Amino acid sequence: MDFLTDAAGIKTMTQLALIIDLNVCVGCHACVTSCKEWNTSGWAGPMTDFNPYGEDPTGTFFNRVQTFEIGEYPKTETVHFPKSCLHCEEPPCVPVCPTGASYKREKDGIVLVDYDKCIGCKYCSWACPYGAREIDEKQKVMKKCTLCVDRIYDESLAKNERRPACVMACPTSARLFGDIHDPDSEVSETIRESGGYQLMPEWGSKPANHYLPRRKNRITLHRDELERADNPLKKEGILPEPPSDQKTLDETTSW
């Protein structure tokens, strides 16, 4: 995929983003582990863990899953909510960075941190309204989701693998990836047609990542639709149980 040109080869402004379908996410954390696996060994790594198997583990994660309860008991439901950097179009973390280490790429809208310029003052962490900033406790610089920038442009990978690790790993395809500025892209269409929304739009940060809401799928069925037209006995319902002492098929045949 070439994010910089449209079908006619004209350069367009691009904003790459993730679309996460909360209706489909089952909270399995596959996105969390695949993100960690790819990024800890890549450009953004290592993503240090301390005491990972002990009582009080800490570590750097670019993607986290929160679980919410909605409604009043007993009429409640559970929502799993994967959260990573939302790659805001007006990112509050960028203007506050004293050295300019935190920046937004013009060519694809990805918000990144230049680890060599970051002094670890952590002020961006204060400014991010979504708590997406991560201090790497060993390297002592701020890190965050890169949208797998070291993967999506890697031409040594097959085309269908040039997607963020979390998108590749999601077993329910709850995560989509693409250019939300391209009205014809799959993600733009999904946002339009499935009610994609931004997290806390009132901050004015215009997060690029969108979420698809929980949806109740309902269907109205009429009685005649429940009756089979080819029902030979013209009778619906469970067939009568055979007597318990009747021999089974295995007992009456030799196969």
Query: Contact positions toward other proteins, by CB under 8 A?
Result: 29, 32, 48, 50-51, 58, 61, 64-70, 78-79, 81, 83, 92, 95-100, 117-123, 125-131, 133-135, 137-142, 199-200, 203
DSSP assignment letter at 5: B
| Min dist. Cβ of residue 117 to other proteins (A) | 6
Q: Which residue has the tokens 């005491």?
A: 51
Determine the longest span between alpha carbons in the chain, in angstroms: 84
As a whole number of angstroms, the distance between CA 247 and CA 12 comes to 73
| Min dist. Cβ of residue 134 to other proteins (A) | 6
| Min dist. Cβ of residue 50 to other proteins (A) | 4
Query: Smallest Cα–Cα separation from 179: which of 65, 85, 87, 83?
Result: 87
| Min dist. Cβ of residue 93 to other proteins (A) | 10
Q: Would you say 23 or 48 has its CB closer to other proteins?
A: 48
Q: Would you say 67 or 156 has its CB closer to other proteins?
A: 67
| Min dist. Cβ of residue 150 to other proteins (A) | 22
Query: Smallest Cα–Cα separation from 36: which of 64, 56, 67, 16?
Result: 64
Q: Would you say 133 or 210 has its CB closer to other proteins?
A: 133
* Cα 88 to chain centroid, rounded: 15
Q: Which residue has the tokens 């963020």?
A: 164
Q: Would you say 97 or 208 has its CB closer to other proteins?
A: 97
In angstroms and rounded to an integer, the radius of gyration of the C-alpha atoms of the chain is 25
Q: Would you say 162 or 214 has its CB closer to other proteins?
A: 214
